[in-house]
Structure 1
Amino acid sequence: MDIAIKDFRSKIKEFDDVEYMVNVIVLNAAPTIKELKAGTTVTLCNHDKNMKNNWKNYKEELLERLKLKAFELKETEDAVVVLFYKEELLKNKLENELVKTYLKKFGYKSEMTLYEKLTLLKKRYEKNACPHELGLFLGFPLDDVKIFIESPHSECLICGYWKVYKDEHYAMKTFEDFDAAKLEIINKVCSGLSLTEILDGIA
């Protein structure tokens, strides 16, 4: 996977700055585009081909192409952290009764709309380096998120897209699915397909 990503990054360096940014987002958000994952955070930095500024200038057009929603969680002079998500999938994840109950500990009220929850997440993100309940907005299992928050020194079974404490089999299969989604993008980009052709094939 690491070699494939290296080849991908080498390939997209040839693209103009905007297409470069779009391909970076598509690679990272591939599991979300394929609805395997509720959300994905991507940090877009100006020192990497002017991605923050290009995001600000082209985000509406870009989101229409990607068929994703986006919410900016944190912004600095040089970078912006963006949550890319599938709206219905994320709503359903956060409407799970156990998830709703747990999120109340951090100030998320059951009657909040998705936008209100994202706004509170943003406020907490600004105060903390990264609020750990973010994992629930990314679609990670509640049990793993709870243990990570409440028992941070517990030894995990494996560590991949998240730290796994409970269902290792489920996590391994999920990690494989996420990697497969990314490899699909990498292979298509490296074979010379246009982004439109790629998105038509995976969305």
Structure 2
Amino acid sequence: MLQKEKNPICFQQSNDEFIKWLVQILGPVILGAKPSEILSFPSHDKTLNEKINKINHYFGNCKKISFKIFHFNHKSTKILFYKPVSLDGVLRDFKNAKFLKSIGYPKEYNLELYLNHMIEKIIQGTIPDEIGLFLGYPLKDVLGFMGHPSLKLTKVNGWRVYGDATLSDKTYDEFLKAKAQIKNLLTFCSMHKILSYA
């Protein structure tokens, strides 16, 4: 259930189509169902600077949603939007933390360090398999995608699901519900104070 905070934290009402699209895409992150989302904009996009300016304007002062902008192979600009509280919870999870440390993440956990470690891999030209954890996919699906022999592909439902699909289905349903909630908020609230929900 959505709960209002006493004070709205981000943007005022906006009819900008790009911002409306962005808020709808980021719905699961805004509502805390998903820890992060990564978007990619081609380098030849003539409106890229305008889009980045809008993101800075509307999201720059958010306390709940943060973002990092970086480049990938000179082909695209990527923006990782994340909810620090949610992402911190995912990365601190014992099994997730143990796995990330086993593949070279710092032994001492720090959200900023872990984000920068993952982003540095992308900047150097590789989309790391473990990005799935940052995006909220279950560890078993990340391990299965990486080729763990005991995890067989079960289905594709938003991402590649390996082994028992119960947790994956539940996670995917939460993402879909959050998208539907944001869509309703955009319809009835016209985006006014949407980011005061979480």
TM-score class, shorter: 0.7 to 0.9
Q: Deviations over 1:159-200 (max 9, x none)?
A: 1232211331222232222112212333443x4642125444
Cα 1:71–1:164 shift into 2, 3 Å: same
| In 2, Cα distance between equivalents of 1:59 and 1:150 | 37
Indicate conservation of the 8 Å contact 1:73/1:121, yes or no.
no
Q: How far did residue 31 of structure 1 move?
A: 0.9
The count of residues paired between Structure 1 and Structure 2 equals 184
Unaligned runs of 5+ residues in structure 1 are 1-14
Question: Kindly, what percent of the aligned residue pairs are identical?
Answer: 28
Structure with the larger RCO, 1 or 2 (CA within 8 Å, 6+ apart): 2
Q: When the two structures are superposed, what TM-score results if normalisation uses the length of structure 2?
A: 0.77
Cα 1:44–1:26 shift into 2, 3 Å: farther
Q: How far did residue 46 of structure 1 move?
A: 6.8
The aligned runs of 1:1-203 (5 Å cut-off) are 19-45=16-42, 50=47, 52-63=48-59, 64=61, 67-75=64-72, 79-151=76-148, 155-189=152-186, 191=187, 193-200=189-196, 202-203=197-198
Q: When the two structures are superposed, what TM-score results if normalisation uses the length of structure 1?
A: 0.75
| In 1, Cα distance between equivalents of 2:97 and 2:182 | 34
Q: How far did residue 68 of structure 1 move?
A: 0.3
Determine which structure has the larger helix proportion and give its number.
1
**Bigger Cα displacement from structure 2, 91-100 vs 38-47:** 38-47
| RMSD (Å), alpha carbons | 2.9
SS at match of 2:108: coil
Indicate conservation of the 8 Å contact 1:73/1:82, yes or no.
yes
Q: Which amino acid aligns with 1:90?
A: L
